[in-house]
Structures are given as structure tokens and as C-alpha cells.
Amino acid sequence: MSSLGSPSPFFLAGKKAYEVERSLRFNSDDTAYLNRTPSSAGNRKTFTWSGWIKRSGLDASNNAHVFFDSRDGASQTIECTFGFLTNNTFFFDVTGAGIRTNALFRDVSAWQHWVIAVNTTEASSSNRVKIYVNGSQITSFSSANYPSQNYDTAINAQYLHSIGRYNNGGHHDGYMAEINFIDGFAYDPSYFGETDVLTGQWNPKKYTGSYGTNGF
């Protein structure tokens, strides 16, 4: 396994236009995470999160292996969070709504590219949250209760935003690399990755668009 800050071997295979040289390790036992509180509100209805994830363990006692989380202070009545549950499904939750995949994600040896694109202004409920892994959209869910139209999520509000931590307890256990967060646009994976024509492998590419008010 690569050490903290070491090159990620999967990025080196095949023909590529863009190489990600470093990754950040999150150790759930150390309760490590990143966080920020935006100084001003952005677009709470439309955003995209893209990142490469490699799990280190499947610890069922670790409440949730979260990619991204935001919620309103002490009351925590407005939330948006997504990542892996303890049963190894992927989840996306906002207050009063949530999505659970049928697929299980238990591979601790491979990197995966995840894109979560949210646009609650969409008339069709299933278009309000789109989830992609390695360039392909996930369409099979054990439950899919989408946010209401024009719902304001906790993302891009002036609340604490955390990478790798669930605010109610539980931390990601593994690696993350090449995280892009886009405020105001719901993008598909082609903005962040591409298929290697020689190997058929899904590889990262540099995002070159706008990040919006609170993007990074």
C-alpha cells in the first residue's frame, strides 16, 4: 500500500494526458478530515463533487465512510452527506430524502473515480442527483427518495463542510486524490476523466472549467 503522500500506482498505467502525483490518506482511528466554512453562500441547488477514492478497510464500527458532508451547526436539521455505509453500499442523503445503491463497494485494492452531480431545479426527480463511478452512471438503487424540486441543500451554505468525516461521527478510512468541487454546475464524468484508448481504463484528466463561488 502506498504511504502518506506517495504516488498512486494506478495513475501510472496506460496512455494518459494527466498524471495525479499525490494522494491524501485518511485514517479513521486518527479521526482525520479536512474542513472549511464558506465565507459567503454559493449555489445550494446545483453542484458537482468529483474525487478518486481508495478504501483501506471495511470497519463496520465506523459509522459511515463519508466523502463530503455539510450541515447547519448544532441543530443539524439541514444536511447533505454522501459516502459508504457500513454495509458497503453508497449513500447520498439530504434532510428528508436519501438514495442507497444496490451495488456493494468492498474492493480495498483499487482506486475508483466518483462523481456526484446535483441539480434540484430539474423537473424529473431522478435527474436531481446523478451518481457515477469510473465514468458510468449508477442507476440501480435499493431506495431512491430524491430531493424535492428547487430544494436548498446544506452544500454551499455558510455551514461547516467536511471532507472525510460524517459530522455525527464516522470517518473515511482510506485515500482520496484529485478532489474537484464545482459550485453552480452539475457535470458528468467527462469533465474529470477519460477512457484510455489503449487499455480501456478510466483515467483522470485535468478539470479546466470554472469552479464558481465556493468551488475548489
pLDDT at residue 123 in the model: 98
pLDDT at residue 207 in the model: 97
pLDDT bucket at 28, cuts 50 / 70 / 90: confident
Q: Are 27 and 172 in contact (CB under 8 A)?
A: no
Whether pLDDT at 49 is above 80:
yes
CA-nearest of 18, 10, 33 to 174 is 33
Whether pLDDT at 11 is above 60:
no
Q: Residue 198: exposed, middle, or buried by beta-carbon count in 10 A (0-12, 13-18, 19+)?
A: exposed
- State pLDDT tens for residues 83-130: 999 899 999 999 999 999 999 999 999 999 999 999 999 999 999 999
Chain mean pLDDT for the chain: 89
Whether pLDDT at 15 is above 60:
no
Average pLDDT over residues 139-150: 98
